[in-house]
Structure 1
């Protein structure tokens, strides 16, 4: 098949980007030809005769303006090339399949001011979302979070048969094995962490949305005897300066480390004592299921799409909604004081063994390779 894959930006270490790469690589393995259309590309330089990368230059200073122009350029390219399927990893018109990595925009916007809902940014994002989810559209939706489905249906009336639930994706290197403890100990030595030091970990880009500030506040609120031997490591891309200012103000700046994007995330998962994922907004939360695969206990907020995996596995705690900082502070202290944290690790490993993790690309390609929505009825 001739496929067109479309996404706004590709960069290493982003959750959506890692999933995009895995689906792309699997599609190439199956012999498909792919045109990738994007606004920006960083990192991975695929060398494959069946893949062509198109970085489109569009005018505009603001992202939402550029996204609208990009959508128009892609539609023109698609009309010329006539691919068998157009697959979008962001919300865009004219898609055959949409990989739904983002939550319902218009639902979240209701919590913002009326002035925001009159802005150009709101209008563009609402327009792009409606193009995908409107009731009379003819696309299939790869649904990453079941919790978002009723929200989209409330606003757009999207029929049930267009949604295709996807399992989580966890890359093979994240799964704990016999060598994982050694790799974890080696990284701790590299970081200079003593045996009784507690290592907290956050993984993911967009630090504000992931709730890094909440983790810093919870670290600072620990009782003295816990706080002095607890360190937070943050992996990913985001604005560091305001968070370092917060750390200094709270007196924990020497205990908060921003490592940026890393290729050895698995070693951090094996080395850490606890994953923190107190997101303000999170459609799924790939880091949560990666932690489970690695046998790492987790403390997460209930609004994360994958928070239910922590509850089902019994491998940590879920902070209820609406979020209260005091609840996280107490939960963090409680988990760090746990008499037998190994039972969380064992529960996580057991859950990873009996739960389908790591097959999202295969599921996605089955939908992409299948008939377009509505073709079954017409034959």
Structure 2
């Protein structure tokens, strides 16, 4: 039995990174290993037999708390060593890093100016990314997409053999053929959504980065008859006030509902007509894979790492970069106005979910972390 330390800043039940962490940790535990988790906070139920250590921090800034967390964990590991240290946020001292985020250096190069590079925030995040991806680090890198790898190689010249692409990983209970019969009708009836109404769904924490404003503008731009029978449900860990104000300004507030988190995402996906995910930035986007497995048509942006699955499946539309709101508006209107097109997209998604490996991330990640051991 090995003692494996998992490091992540915060755990909450509805984050994509958090779900991946939990499933990977459980896969390692199932093979007989002890799991120690370092986190600043944990919301929701914790698995039995996890050794949970809450890391104290006092800084008022995110990067300050991250530095305090890293220093505290480093000291604790010196006193209480682990056989393997796995990180889900960038920090020094990792043996394995699960790369659910984009390349920070690339983001800064594309979006920020010289003055930003003088800030303590920039210096912290740049230093912690370099501690993982430079060739002074020995960390093995669990990657989600080839684009991530290309960005990190460009900025850090990271040795190619350190990168390992893992497949997506969603639970089989999210797949269309694992759900109860009549789930769509039952959900709509319970939630007062008529058969002839159109339900648009967006799922993802961090509304700004996920492009909720783009979705709201696309709903508002629908033809009058279509807009009148369209509802939008947004689910994610964020503060909705700003987006409720935008919906009110656009005249669609009565048609939009926000939820901080829900346990019935499979039911929501079964009841919805389209998943919207017009993200500004997204290293992967596991919700795209969940939608494909559910047979739900997807409209997303090229910036999402998993957008290529939508294109390969031909189960929706990938909006090209540079993004244009008018293109998103037109695509959503076309999809909602054409039931036969949505049915075709849905059948394509189901066929893709049947033939592609969209499920084995936890097992593959555990193989890599444990060095191929399956004890």
TM-score by length of 1: 0.95
Task: Name the structure 1 match of 2:32.
Answer: 31
Does structure 1 residue 92 correspond to structure 2 residue 107? no
Return the alpha-carbon distance in structure 2 between the equivalents of residues 178 and 365 of structure 1. Answer: 25
Task: Name the structure 1 match of 2:67.
Answer: 68
Task: Name the structure 2 match of 1:338.
Answer: 338
Does structure 1 residue 302 correspond to structure 2 residue 302? yes
Does structure 1 residue 263 correspond to structure 2 residue 263? yes
Task: Name the structure 2 match of 1:194.
Answer: 194
Does structure 1 residue 276 correspond to structure 2 residue 245? no
Over residues 104-142 of structure 1, what are the superposed CA-to-partner deviations in whole Å (9 max), with x where a residue is unaligned?
011111211322221111111111100000023111000
Over residues 256-286 of structure 1, what are the superposed CA-to-partner deviations in whole Å (9 max), with x where a residue is unaligned?
1102201111100111000000001000001
Gaps of 5+ in 2: none
Determine helix, strand or coil for the equivalent of 1:141.
Answer: strand
Task: Name the structure 2 match of 1:161.
Answer: 161
Determine helix, strand or coil for the equivalent of 1:137.
Answer: coil
Contact 2:301 2:320 in 1 (8 A): yes
Return the alpha-carbon distance in structure 1 between the equivalents of residues 184 and 9 of structure 2. Answer: 35
Contact 2:210 2:279 in 1 (8 A): yes
Please report how far the alpha carbon of residue 59 of structure 1 lies from its aligned counterpart in structure 2 after TM superposition.
2.2
Task: Name the structure 2 match of 1:79.
Answer: 78
Contact 2:17 2:100 in 1 (8 A): yes
Return the alpha-carbon distance in structure 2 between the equivalents of residues 16 and 337 of structure 1. Answer: 34
Determine helix, strand or coil for the equivalent of 1:177.
Answer: helix
Structure 1 vs Structure 2 CA RMSD: 1.1
Return the alpha-carbon distance in structure 2 between the equivalents of residues 278 and 44 of structure 1. Answer: 31
Over residues 329-373 of structure 1, what are the superposed CA-to-partner deviations in whole Å (9 max), with x where a residue is unaligned?
0110111122512111110000001000111001101110018xx
Return the alpha-carbon distance in structure 2 between the equivalents of residues 149 and 29 of structure 1. Answer: 30
List structure 1 segments (4+ residues) > 2 angstroms apart after TM superposition. Answer: 178-181
Determine helix, strand or coil for the equivalent of 1:280.
Answer: coil
Determine helix, strand or coil for the equivalent of 1:36.
Answer: strand
- How does 1:1-379 map onto structure 2 within 5 Å? 1-48=2-49, 51-110=50-109, 111-177=111-177, 179-180=179-180, 182-340=182-340, 341-370=342-371
Return the alpha-carbon distance in structure 1 between the equivalents of residues 336 and 68 of structure 2. Answer: 49
Return the alpha-carbon distance in structure 2 between the equivalents of residues 326 and 257 of structure 1. Answer: 24
Return the alpha-carbon distance in structure 2 between the equivalents of residues 323 and 181 of structure 1. Answer: 38
Please report how far the alpha carbon of residue 183 of structure 1 lies from its aligned counterpart in structure 2 after TM superposition.
1.2
Contact 1:295 1:348 in 2 (8 A): yes
TM-score by length of 2: 0.96
Over residues 158-194 of structure 1, what are the superposed CA-to-partner deviations in whole Å (9 max), with x where a residue is unaligned?
0110000010111122101274451121111122111
Return the alpha-carbon distance in structure 2 between the equivalents of residues 151 and 65 of structure 1. Answer: 26
Contact 1:180 1:270 in 2 (8 A): no
Please report how far the alpha carbon of residue 304 of structure 1 lies from its aligned counterpart in structure 2 after TM superposition.
0.3
Return the alpha-carbon distance in structure 1 between the equivalents of residues 206 and 177 of structure 2. Answer: 30
Gaps of 5+ in 1: 372-379
Task: Name the structure 2 match of 1:374.
Answer: none
